[in-house]
């Protein structure tokens, strides 16, 4: 029972300047369900991609059943019985279930497909006919096929990358029962990746925790480990630099009352009972693991998303039914999470992109003054020190930092009264992050009400005056920043409200 089926020693891998994995040791016991916990970008998926032969490590070795493996390729990894379910499914939509399951050359149920399919359909509670095509299935059903594909390809080690991210609570419950059966009856070794604390405790027998590319805890026994301990391991220490928080606050600028939004597909609430307010000169931080309603909330307040119930007030004026342009005219700026694709239009020039917020101010009837647009861009470039040599070059020729500065500058130059900023520093280098933080503080000090969505707790602690934690679309807890620390915020992010 305690046989080690797979082990890695000192695995390292970097992408460009980013060290994704740093001397990672990892081991799996045959027939057990292992949890791999960590924040976004901690290195979980990179490690799994190395085990399934997609990436080659720069350093370190992999042992399977005690034998050292020289170089894993996707092919050899599959032959050794390692199979992975990726976050984005790899099924052929127009093919039938049967074709997808039997596609691989390592498929072991060629002859007795029906028998095997019936057996595993039962384990997965799948009612679909083997001849129906993948495109007719729901997301949950597709995932069952993905996992079944591993079984059909004779994988004894199953790597599941965030399998619950796309599932409803009922489907998650169902998945747990199926995985239990696979590990007990078929002696499958399973790795269950997640960043949700609750699930890792439900699903697994032992837990590994990754943080910034390092394995910070190995083989913890799930039964005896405390939530607090896991949160501490996952979050690590927060860099506690804080900016001056003696900023004067004024009257309430933005008020949100009882927001409710339903997902039209599965009728679940994406946002529920959200009420909050932000004063002039105040930064309200919104914390939460990604996918807990942050994008929806930001889109609703900015007017991009119009399908919701509840009230939004700017300076006591109800704007719930107003469109994007009307809200902009009330001096609201929105810096969306998705820089290129939402905030900036790919394939369009730097000049055109620089005018998206207020292009209508450069218009005279039907005429759009190019000179005025150029003047505005020049001002932006100077004011926010953006490196953009050619106004007519396509936006994607700028670096990430300069794109974000252009986007921020465009939204900030008109001294907005309210700013909604989503992940404003994601993917930027230290200097660019510092520049963006200074911009946000400057806006705060000139009396703007700021709503800051971030997955970076350092950033939230540094900038916010108050902190709200979103969990499954609800405000699970609210903190004054002095009373917030990594432990209580981390627990709230994991859905535990003490």
Partner 1 sequence: MSKYILAKKTSVHDFSTFYSFLIGLAISITVGSLILLLQDQNPIEVFSLMLKLSVGSMNSLSASLNKAIPLILAGLGIAIINTVKLWNIGAEGQIFLGAIIVNLVYINTDLRSSSLYILLLLIAGFIGGSICILMPAITKVFFGVNEIITTLLTNYIIIGLTVYLINGPWRDPDSLSFPVAAYVGEEVFLPKILGRLSIGFIICILCTFAAHYLIDKSVFGYEMRIAGGSQMTAIYAGINAKQKTFIAMLIGGGFAGLAGAVELLGQTHRVSTGISQGFGYTAIIVAAITGMRPIGIFLVGTLFGALTIGGSVIQTIGVSSYIADIIQATTLFGALIALFFFTYEIKEVQDG
Residue nearer to partner 1 on the CB measure, 251 or 390: 390
Q: Which residue from 51, 43, 49, 39 is spatially nearest to 19, judged by alpha carbons? A: 43
CB 422 within 8 A of CB 335: yes
Total binding residues toward partner 1, as defined by CB under 8 A = 40
For partner 1, the closer of residues 150 and 386 by Cβ is 386
- Strands in 18-29's sheet, in edge-to-edge order, are 18-29, 4-15, 59-64, 67-69
For partner 1, the closer of residues 32 and 357 by Cβ is: 357
Instruction: Choose the stretch contacting partner 1; rule: CB under 8 A; options: 34-42, 250-258, 262-270, 321-329.
Output: 321-329
Minimum distance, C-beta of residue 235 to partner 1, in the bound complex (Å): 27
The SS3 assignment for 33 reads strand
What pairing do the DSSP bridges indicate for beta strands 67-69 and 59-64?
Answer: antiparallel
d(CA 296, CA 446): 28
Single out the residue of 177, 325, 382, 483 in contact with partner 1 (rule: CB under 8 A): 325
- Is 342 a binding residue for partner 1 by CB under 8 A? The answer is yes
Q: In terms of DSSP bridges, do strands 269-279 and 317-318 run parallel, antiparallel, or are they unpaired?
A: unpaired
Token pair belonging to 36: 């791999």
Integer Cα distance of 244 and 324 in angstroms:
33
The SS3 of residue 392 is coil
67 binds partner 1 (CB under 8 A): no
Q: Could you say whether residue 339 binds partner 1 (CB under 8 A)? A: no
374 binds partner 1 (CB under 8 A): no
125: left (phi over 0), alpha (psi -120 to 50) or beta: left
- Token pair, residue 142, equals 């597709």
Identity of the residue, 345 or 435, whose beta carbon is nearer to partner 1 in the bound complex: 345
Residues 396-435 that bind partner 1 (CB under 8 A): 396-398
Among 1, 131, 241, 341, which residue interacts with partner 1 (rule: CB under 8 A)?
A: 341
Question: What is the footprint of partner 1 within residues 350-369 (CB under 8 A)?
Answer: 352, 355-357, 359-360, 363, 366-368
Coil, strand, or helix at residue 476? strand
**Among the listed residues 334, 453, 461, 471, the single contact to partner 1 using CB under 8 A:** 334
Q: CB under 8 A: which stretch of 145-153, 246-254, 324-332, 417-425 binds partner 1?
A: 324-332
Applying the rule CB under 8 A, the residues between 68 and 127 that interact with partner 1 are none
User: Residue from 304, 313, 330, 496 that binds partner 1 (CB under 8 A)?
Assistant: 304
Q: Give the residue with the Cβ less far from partner 1, 37 or 350.
A: 350
Name the residue nearer to partner 1 (CB basis): 334 or 479.
334
Taken as a whole, the chain contains a residue count of: 498
Does residue 323 touch partner 1 according to CB under 8 A?
yes
Residue of 71, 223, 389, 498 that binds partner 1 (CB under 8 A):
389
Residue 301 CB, nearest approach to partner 1 (Å): 13
Strand 59-64 and strand 214-221: the pairing is: unpaired
Full DSSP string of 256-291: EEEEEEE-TTT--EEEEEEEEEEETT-EEEEE--TT
Residue 201: burial class (beta carbons within 10 Å; 0-12, 13-18, 19+): middle
The residues, any chain, with a CB within 8 Å of residue 322's CB and separated by 6 or more, are: 303
> To the nearest whole angstrom, how small is the minimum distance from the Cβ of residue 332 to partner 1?
11
Q: Based on CB atoms, which residue is closest to partner 1, 170 or 341?
A: 341
116: its two tokens: 């095997």
List all residues 6 or more positions away from 205 whose beta carbon is below 8 Å from its beta carbon.
Answer: 32, 33, 34, 221, 222
CB closer to partner 1, 55 vs 124: 55
- Does 15 bind partner 1 (CB under 8 A)? Our answer is yes
In whole angstroms, how close is the CB of 57 to partner 1 at the nearest point?
12
Residue with structure tokens 């405790």? 201
Q: Give min distance, CB of 3 to partner 1, in A.
A: 35
Helix (H, G, I), strand (E, B) or coil at 25: strand
Structure tokens at 436: 């963006």
Tell me the H-state helices in 320-445. 324-329, 350-354, 370-383, 400-412, 430-445
Taking the complex as a whole, the smallest distance from the CB of residue 353 to partner 1 amounts, in Å, to 8
Shortest Å, Cβ 16 to partner 1: 5
- Shortest gap between Cβ of 396 and partner 1 (angstroms)? 7
Residue in 53, 288, 336, 473 binding partner 1, rule: CB under 8 A: 336
Nearer to partner 1, 268 or 368 (CB): 368
CB of 326 to partner 1, least distance (A): 8
Q: What are phi and psi of 241, to 5 degrees?
A: -60, 130
* Number of Cβ within a 10 Å radius of residue 443: 22
Q: Give CA angle at 47 (45, 48), nearest 5°.
A: 65
Binds partner 1 (CB under 8 A): choice among 136, 390, 434, 445: 390
> Minimum CB separation from partner 1 for residue 356, in Å?
5
Nearest distance from residue 345's CB to partner 1, in Å?
Answer: 3
What is the nearest approach in angstroms of partner 1 to the Cβ of residue 370? 7
Which residues would be at the binding site for partner 1 (CB under 8 A)? 14-16, 302-304, 323-325, 328, 334, 336, 338, 341-348, 352, 355-357, 359-360, 363, 366-368, 370, 389-390, 392-394, 396-398
């Amino acid at each position: 029972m305690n046989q080690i089926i797979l082990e890695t020693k000192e695995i390292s891998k970097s992408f460009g300047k980013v060290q994704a994995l740093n001397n990672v040791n990892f081991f799996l016991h045959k027939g057990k369900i292992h949890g791999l916990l960590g924040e976004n970008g901690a290195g979980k998926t990179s490690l799994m991609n190395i085990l399934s032969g997609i990436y080659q490590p720069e350093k370190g070795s992999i042992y399977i059943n005690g034998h050292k493996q020289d170089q894993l390729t996707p092919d050899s990894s599959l032959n050794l019985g390692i199979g992975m379910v990726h976050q984005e499914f790899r099924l052929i939509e127009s093919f039938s279930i049967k074709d997808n399951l039997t596609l691989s050359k390592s498929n072991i149920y060629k002859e007795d497909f029906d028998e095997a399919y019936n057996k595993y359909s039962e384990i997965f509670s799948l009612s679909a006919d083997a001849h129906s095509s993948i495109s007719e299935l729901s997301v949950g059903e597709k995932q069952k096929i993905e996992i079944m594909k591993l079984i059909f390809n004779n994988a004894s080690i199953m790597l599941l990358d965030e399998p619950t991210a796309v599932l409803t609570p009922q489907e998650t419950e169902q998945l747990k029962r199926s995985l239990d059966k696979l590990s007990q009856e078929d002696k499958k070794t399973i790795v269950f990746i997640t960043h949700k604390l609750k699930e890792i405790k439900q699903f697994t027998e032992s837990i590994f925790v990754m943080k910034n590319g390092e394995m910070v805890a190995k083989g913890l026994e799930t039964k005896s480990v405390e939530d607090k301990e896991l949160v501490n391991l996952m979050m690590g220490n927060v860099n506690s630099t804080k900016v001056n928080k003696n900023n004067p606050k004024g009257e309430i600028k933005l008020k949100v009352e009882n927001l409710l939004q339903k997902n039209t597909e599965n009728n679940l609430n994406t946002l529920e009972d959200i009420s909050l307010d932000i004063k002039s000169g105040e930064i309200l931080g919104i914390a939460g693991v990604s996918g807990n309603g942050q994008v929806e909330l930001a889109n609703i307040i900015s007017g991009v998303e119009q399908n919701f119930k509840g009230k939004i007030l700017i300076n006591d004026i109800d704007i719930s039914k107003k469109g994007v342009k009307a809200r902009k005219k009330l001096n609201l700026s929105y810096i969306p999470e998705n820089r290129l694709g939402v905030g900036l239009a790919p394939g369009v020039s730097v000049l055109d992109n620089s005018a998206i917020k207020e292009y209508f101010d450069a218009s005279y009837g039907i005429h759009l003054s190019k000179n005025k647009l150029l003047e505005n861009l020049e001002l932006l470039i100077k004011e926010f020190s953006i490196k953009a040599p050619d106004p007519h070059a396509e936006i994607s020729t700028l670096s990430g930092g300069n794109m974000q500065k252009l986007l921020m500058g465009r939204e900030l130059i008109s001294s907005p009264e309210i700013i909604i900023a989503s992940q404003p520093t994601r993917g930027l280098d230290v200097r660019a992050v510092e520049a963006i933080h200074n911009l946000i503080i400057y806006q705060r000090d000139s009396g703007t009400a700021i709503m800051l969505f971030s997955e970076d707790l350092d950033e939230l602690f540094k900038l916010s005056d108050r902190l709200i934690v979103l969990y499954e679309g609800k405000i699970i807890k609210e903190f004054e920043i002095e009373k917030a620390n990594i432990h209580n915020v981390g627990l709230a992010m994991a859905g535990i409200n003490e």
